[in-house]
């Protein structure tokens, strides 16, 4: 657990909004620089100094999206069952064997507070990362992070795009003295970014994504399905008996515990970043038969990418929020803030009629908190003055109503000039995570808490971990090594020269 602070050496990570400042003057192997800028770590916004951050945000939409997380598995029975099992065994046996059985049952059903027996972790975190997936595995109290893009812009440049192949484990449990929470694993799926993943039946299920070996040219798109076993720490490709969804990225996969199925919706099926092709198809993968089935979708559904999708087990429905379509590449971009429902039992679609909702946005993260029967939303990128957001929302599906849970950084001053944003661009709330998109936020229904990791900020990529609970709000569990705005990390903000340093 460490943070690089007050040390200015060599090259610096530049603001998310600043990266695109060179876009009108640069070429990339005879391709328009929008492609390079859109695919760089920043996927930055802002086309001129005079434009507001909101206009900048619109331009940044070019290459961002959302990985959904959250799953309905688990409930508070875990804690009570574990304690009950332990107490009952201890009482009936009346000896150490009973106590041992009780402790063992408690550990199995309450991993959140059970000390981790293993001690093979490090205190060194992953590099600053975005476009990855992070999935909370209830049974083990661990966040599983796979893939992503680690490129970070320097001096308004466009670094080579990366598609990481490492798997990182972050243990959200008590550790023995000297034991670190981070474990890096190799082996598994081909490296990629902008894939999607979800938790179900004790496993992480991962689908799709994209990668390319150089910083220009077409992407390789994936339509493969993988399963990660936390017990063995291994990935296994999941075979299918028929053809499934086409290769795509910025789509969403969601686990359906009622049907033992995985659902995939929407995404971008184009291998050229300059000509996106968003879709609104829905697919179901049956874990028992290993068969893909395409579900008919009405024409009025919006093509979308960078959206969220969760499974609401209490109502047996899929819930889709936000995202954008192909217009995200234009100055007239419109980002969605609608809630769309699909009921698999009767094959019907619907949407919420809302008086108030979060601003339209892409690449936010939404999860389902079963203990309180609510949908929780954090962050993303909008087309307003801020661009990246760090607001938190709750949706009550019974009352059909959104409620803000926290404050957020607020807009304060516009740009000083070309590629030059002031240190006090926003009034920073240090009790909240940095504004971001392309992050992961995954919920443990057994532990009743969520973990936020990484993403794209105004100052590049980031690698912090934040824990959220209803009782305590946001808690910074692991500090960022870079990627935060200067007003957030400097002890004396008066020493900040601009938004990031």
Counting runs of H as helices and runs of E as strands, what totals does the chain give?
Answer: 5, 28
Q: Supply the pLDDT for residue 158.
A: 64
Give the DSSP H/E element, type plus range, for residue 96.
Answer: helix 96-109
Q: Supply the pLDDT for residue 160.
A: 73
Counting Cα atoms < 13 Å in the Cβ hemisphere of 22 gives 19
Q: Supply the pLDDT for residue 109.
A: 54
**pLDDT(88) > 70:** no
Q: Supply the pLDDT for residue 240.
A: 98
**pLDDT(95) > 50:** no
Q: Supply the pLDDT for residue 459.
A: 92
Angle 181-187-188 from CA coordinates, rounded to 5°? 105
- Which of 183, 156, 166, 158 shows the shortest CA–CA distance to 129? 166
Q: Is 417 exposed, middle or buried (0-12, 13-18, 19+ CB in 10 A)?
A: exposed
Residue 204, C-beta contacts closer than 8 angstroms, at least 6 positions apart: 135, 137, 144, 146, 197, 198, 227, 228, 230
Give the DSSP H/E element, type plus range, for residue 324.
Answer: strand 317-324
Angle 197-200-206 from CA coordinates, rounded to 5°? 25
Q: Is 205 exposed, middle or buried (0-12, 13-18, 19+ CB in 10 A)?
A: buried
φ/ψ (deg, to 5) at 267: 115, -175
Between CA 448 and CA 230 the distance in angstroms is 20
What is this structure's pTM?
Answer: 0.81
Q: Supply the pLDDT for residue 83.
A: 41
Give the DSSP H/E element, type plus range, for residue 369.
Answer: strand 365-369
**pLDDT(136) > 80:** yes
Give the DSSP H/E element, type plus range, for residue 102.
Answer: helix 96-109
DSSP 3-state assignment of 197?
strand
Q: Cβ distance 357 to 337 under 8 Å?
A: yes
**pLDDT(370) > 50:** yes
Cα–Cα separations (whole angstroms), residue 348 to 204, 285, 314, 351: 28, 18, 17, 11
Between CA 143 and CA 172 the distance in angstroms is 7
Residue 19, C-beta contacts closer than 8 angstroms, at least 6 positions apart: 37, 40, 41, 42, 43, 44, 153, 156, 158
Extract the tokens encoding 275. Answer: 């000509």
The percent of residues above 70 in pLDDT, for the chain, comes to: 76
Bigger pLDDT: 322 vs 420: 322
- Which of 323, 325, 225 shows the shortest CA–CA distance to 270? 325
Range with lowest mean pLDDT among 33-42, 312-321, 412-421, 426-435: 33-42
Q: Cβ distance 445 to 312 under 8 Å?
A: no
Beta-bridge partner residues of 143: 136, 170
Name the band, by pLDDT with cuts 50, 70 and 90, for residue 238: very high
Q: What is the mean pLDDT of residues 373-393?
A: 95
Per-residue burial over 432-466, b = 16 or more CB atoms within 10 Å of its CB, e = otherwise: bbbbbbbbbbbbbbbbbbbbbbbbbbbbbbbbbbb
How many other CB atoms are found less than 10 A from the CB of residue 21? Answer: 24
Between CA 371 and CA 174 the distance in angstroms is 23
Q: Cβ distance 105 to 86 under 8 Å?
A: yes
Q: Cβ distance 266 to 323 under 8 Å?
A: yes
Q: Cβ distance 352 to 301 under 8 Å?
A: no
Q: Supply the pLDDT for residue 153.
A: 62
Between CA 97 and CA 197 the distance in angstroms is 40
């Amino acid at each position: 657990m460490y943070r690089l602070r007050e040390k200015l050496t060599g090259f610096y990570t530049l603001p998310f909004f600043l990266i695109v400042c060179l876009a009108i003057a640069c070429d990339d192997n005879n391709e328009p620089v929008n492609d390079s800028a859109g695919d760089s770590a920043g996927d930055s916004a802002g086309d001129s100094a005079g434009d507001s951050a909101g206009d900048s945000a619109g331009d940044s939409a070019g290459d961002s999206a959302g990985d959904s997380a959250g799953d309905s598995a688990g409930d508070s029975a875990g804690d009570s069952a574990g304690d009950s099992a332990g107490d009952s065994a201890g009482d009936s046996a009346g000896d150490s064997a009973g106590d041992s059985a009780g402790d063992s049952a408690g550990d199995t059903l309450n991993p959140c507070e059970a000390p981790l027996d293993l001690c093979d972790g490090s205190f060194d975190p992953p590099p600053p990362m975005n476009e990855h997936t992070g999935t909370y595995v209830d049974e083990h109290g661990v966040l599983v992070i796979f893939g992503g893009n680690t490129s970070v812009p320097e001096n308004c440049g466009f670094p080579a795009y990366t598609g990481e192949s490492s798997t990182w484990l972050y243990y959200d449990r008590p550790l023995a003295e000297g034991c670190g929470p981070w474990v890096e694993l190799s082996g598994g799926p081909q490296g990629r970014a902008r894939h999607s993943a979800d938790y179900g039946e004790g496993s992480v299920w991962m689908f799709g994504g994209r990668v390319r070996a150089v910083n220009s040219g077409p992407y390789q798109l994936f339509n493969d399905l993988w399963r990660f076993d936390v017990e063995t720490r291994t990935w296994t490709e999941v075979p299918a008996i028929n053809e499934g969804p086409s290769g795509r990225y910025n789509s969403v996969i969601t686990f359906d515990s009622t049907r033992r199925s995985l659902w995939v919706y929407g995404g971008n099926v184009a291998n050229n970043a300059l000509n996106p092709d968003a879709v609104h198809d829905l697919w179901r993968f049956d874990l028992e038969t290993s068969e893909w089935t395409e579900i008919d979708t009405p024409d009025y559904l919006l093509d979308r990418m960078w959206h969220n999708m969760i499974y609401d087990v209490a109502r047996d429905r899929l819930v889709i929020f936000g995202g954008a379509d192909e217009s995200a590449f234009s100055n007239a971009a419109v980002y969605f803030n609608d809630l769309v429902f699909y009921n698999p039992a009767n094959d019907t679609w619907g949407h919420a009629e809302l008086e108030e909702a979060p601003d339209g946005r892409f690449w936010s993260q939404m999860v389902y908190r079963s203990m309180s029967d609510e949908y929780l939303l954090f962050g993303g990128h909008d087309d307003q003055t801020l661009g990246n957001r760090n607001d938190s929302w709750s949706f009550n599906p019974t009352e059909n109503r959104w409620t803000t849970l926290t404050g957020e950084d607020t807009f304060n001053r516009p740009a000083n000039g070309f590629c030059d944003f002031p240190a006090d661009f926003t009034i920073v709330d240090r009790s909240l995570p940095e504004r971001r998109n392309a992050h992961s936020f995954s919920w443990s229904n057994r532990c009743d808490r969520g973990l936020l990791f990484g993403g794209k900020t105004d100052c590049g990529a980031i690698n912090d971990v934040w824990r959220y609970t209803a009782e305590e709000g946001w808690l910074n569990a692991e500090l960022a090594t870079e990627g935060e705005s200067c007003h957030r990390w400097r002890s004396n903000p008066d020493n900040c020269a601009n938004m990031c340093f």
